[in-house]
Amino acid sequence: MTSTVASPGTISATKPARLISIDALRGLTIAFMIMVNNNGSDRAWWFMKHAEWNGLTPTDLVFPTFLFVVGASIVFAFEARLAKGATRSQLAWQTLRRATTLFAFGLIVNNLGLVLNGFPQLHLDSWRIYGVLQRIAICYLLVGIFYLWDRRWQTKVAAVVVALISYWILMRWVPVPGAGMPGVDVPFLDKDQNLVAWLDRQIFPGKMLYETTRDPEGLLSDLPALGTALIGLLAGLWMRSKHTVKTKAMELALFGLGLILVGAAWSEWFPVNKKLWTSSYVLVAAGISMSLLALFFWIIEVKNWRGKWTWPLLVLGSNSIAAYMISETLGTFLDLIHLTWNGRRIGPLGYLNMSVFYKIPNDGISSFAYSFFFLMICFVPVWIMYRKKIFLKV
């Protein structure tokens, strides 16, 4: 998903420029994602962990920020291809192929351990179908096709409103089969007795769901996730408008603040919850993502403060899918090497964590050090790909 998007109402005829700020924000997001997904222990600082249920931590902002950037990148990437003479039909087929590939990558990431440990049997009844890359694929496909079909900003705003309000109505006012009305017969947003979890259990048996009785990337919660990507797309449209770069940066920041305030107010009735991707969560997270984008846009595009500090972010941001796949599969492959620690079998990374990082007295620093070390390991192959101009595009 290469970054390169349109003014509200009309599309600029000028050739779309690549924005370093989008690539840098994507790089920061994937770096944090790799670290929080590989804490090495449960001793990490609170901001390196997800909220247990309702609530929000910085870690809960990683996935929606990545999805937000996907939405913004759609406009730049599609406009660049259209400017080179591609037709909307060609782009639609390319979008479908890329989304299918990304979904397949997600299945590999989710189930590689099952395949390697169970080979030659595949045990398909235990495969997890939902996942991070799968959700990105679905949102990329639907939002991309929507943008090709209708490039007006008004329709995107309407779609966000419909998606978020519809999801609230479904979660609040539709009875959960076998449990009853949320907030009356069963607690509102109960962990297991909610419409998202119920629907996922009807589609897949428990061992195919991430948390057995529910899945954080469940089918129904793709609806508000589309809202996240659409808000990112709206940000991209604004960044391609004919306003000055200073105006774009300041108004992105104001839009972000507005989304945060509306989301915080809505959370009184529909709590912020990452695992259910609630509508208030969409607004608060997208507001923060937009504010971060405004900050990066101001620093890099307006003030032109770029250089060595942006380089590692650009390396990761230009090959974010490759970086994510490396981080999610590296440990699985290394665990095929069996070492022993205190009489139990352990992989090389676990051995290194126990023998080196666990000896750091402070638990939070110990966990953070391991996370950063793991990020550096993943950075090396991505850097090699960057130098050789090899980019995994989906």
The predicted-structure confidence for 363-391, as pLDDT tens digits, reads as follows 999 999 999 999 999 999 999 999 999 88
Residue 12 lies in a domain: no
Q: What pLDDT digit, counting tens, does each position of 104-144 carry?
A: 999 999 998 888 776 667 777 789 999 999 999 999 999 99
Give residue 14's pLDDT band: very low, low, confident or very high (50, 70, 90).
very low
Q: Give 361-367 contacts, CB < 8 A, sequence gap 24+.
A: 363/41, 363/43, 363/44, 364/43, 364/44, 364/45, 364/48, 366/40, 366/41, 366/43, 367/39, 367/40, 367/41, 367/43, 367/44, 367/45, 367/48
Check residue 159 and give its pLDDT. Answer: 98
Residue 4 lies in a domain: no
Domain residues for the domain of 323 are 20-387
Q: What pLDDT digit, counting tens, does each position of 151-202 carry?
A: 999 999 999 999 999 999 999 999 999 999 999 999 999 999 999 999 999 9
Check residue 31 and give its pLDDT. Answer: 97
Q: How open is the CA angle 182-185-190, to the nearest 5 degrees?
A: 50
Q: How open is the CA angle 229-77-34, to the nearest 5 degrees?
A: 55
Residue 3 lies in a domain: no
Cβ proximity of 382 and 315 under 8 Å: yes
Residue 155 lies in a domain: yes
Check residue 337 and give its pLDDT. Answer: 87
Check residue 2 and give its pLDDT. Answer: 41
Average pLDDT for 68-82 = 95
Over the range 355-368, which residues count as b (16 or more CB within 10 Å of their CB) and which as e?
Answer: eebeeeeeeeebbb
Give residue 13's pLDDT band: very low, low, confident or very high (50, 70, 90).
very low
**pLDDT at residue 84 tops 90:** yes
**pLDDT at residue 90 tops 80:** yes
Residue 196 lies in a domain: yes
Residue 15 lies in a domain: no
> CA–CA separation, 93 vs 334, rounded Å?
37
Give residue 10's pLDDT band: very low, low, confident or very high (50, 70, 90).
very low
How distant is the alpha carbon of residue 366 from its chain centre?
26
> CA–CA separation, 277 vs 284, rounded Å?
11
> CA–CA separation, 19 vs 248, rounded Å?
13
Instruction: Say what the pTM is.
Output: 0.91
Q: Tokens 């306003």 belong to which residue?
A: 243
Q: What tokens appear for 73 in the block?
A: 């990148």
Check residue 346 and give its pLDDT. Answer: 87
Residue 47 lies in a domain: yes
Residue 76 lies in a domain: yes
Check residue 5 and give its pLDDT. Answer: 37
Domain count, the chain: 1
